[in-house]
A and B are shown apart, each in its own frame.
Chain A
């Protein structure tokens, strides 16, 4: 038994250090952010599709447009190619969320894991998560969609207005749509979505982002966020 144990081999500390040091640094950064109830001023979630679920998403200067998103795809033989897919890119200049859950599915050595982020205060009557200049890419979004103010369907994606520059002016072509394709877009003064679920490719929050009650967990297997309940009060 002792002989068998000795053949397991040791931990490769050099490699572990190369991997571990940046990870620990990032973990510390995240920890500091969590302790302060806020993350860094610019947050990116990308690299693979993930599930997003929120009870409510309310935003000013809403825009949606079809954009092209190049993705690296690795074939079974190991070759990597770039595939251009069409996605719906959604933008808000100022946003509030009522509870948020993100589930990222990973596979390590054949074992499936789910990294799950949850934020919010657990109170469906409060819209406790503040964010500015939010953009996310998705293939499908389901939920109650309401649009207010002046609502435009059929505006080209490159002509929408949503996120703003530092001086408060609207960013040109904020969704980074191909301006030669004139693809479909939607623009609204305000938007309120409730019980939202979706498959998302990327999420970027450029402006200040405050998310109380952030927790990160790793769960074995492929799990999903619970179905969001409807908010019980307006934002």
Chain B
């Protein structure tokens, strides 16, 4: 009886070695850095300060209720800073509006969705979401959006608006908002590491890349 047990033990040992090999192929301390970083040739927009994606992506704040809408986003100040021409990463230019939200909070459902021919990106969160609240020093944080095709509802939630007054900040609670954006920047004027006063706060969020070959 001892011989079969010994063989069985060796087989178990051999199996463990094979498993170790399989594990080792997945978890390997590598001694070389083989990464080759390609140079970039994108064109930076001089005012926004970075290379902007050449195709816009959609922003959705709040759900559209077919019966009775209620307020689903709030901004201490919502301003149209005017029409401007921006340079995109591929060197082309396009005309957009520059909007600024201060202390923006979305109660329910936010979606940032980019759809391209070969992939998509969805960032969703059920809310409430902050895109520029108040930081640890009591300073307002804000979010700038360069985009087009603004649509939103406020007031009675019955009419769709496509513009806000130029250079006049609206203290506003809206029902929903849609926009096509090229660039969004959220800014904390005095960030402190670990203070959790982040201008972008997306609890229970999901970021998903879709698409394939």
Interface positions of A (Cβ within 8 A of B): 5, 8, 10-11, 16, 19-20, 22-24, 26-27, 29-30, 33, 39-40, 42-48, 50, 58, 60, 64, 66, 83-88, 104, 106, 108, 113, 115, 117, 138-156, 158-159, 171-174, 176, 178-179, 182-185, 187-190, 192, 204, 206, 216, 218, 234-235
Contact = CB atoms under 8 A, between A and B. Distances in A.
A42 B36 CA distance: 15
B209 A147 contact: no
A86 B212 contact: yes
15 contacts: A22-B21, A24-B17, A40-B30, A42-B29, A104-B27, A144-B203, A145-B202, A154-B52, A156-B42, A156-B50, A156-B52, A156-B53, A172-B38, A173-B37, A216-B23
A108 B16 CA distance: 11
Given A140-B206, A147-B186, A154-B183, A46 B26 contact: yes
Given A66-B209, A148-B188, A154-B183, A45 B26 contact: yes
B182 A206 contact: no
Contact residues on B (Cβ < 8 Å of other chain), bracket:
35 or more
Contacts of B195: 148, 234
Contact of A5 (B4, B15, B35, B50): B4
A67 to B, nearest CB: 9
Given A11-B14, A158-B51, A179-B42, A47 B25 contact: yes
B184 to A, nearest CB: 4
Q: What are the 9 A-B residue pairs with the smallest beta carbon separation, nearest first?
A: A40-B29, A86-B119, A159-B51, A153-B184, A147-B200, A146-B198, A182-B89, A148-B198, A151-B186
A106 B42 CA distance: 41
A173 B29 CA distance: 24
A183 B53 contact: yes
Contacts of B3: 5
A192 B17 contact: no
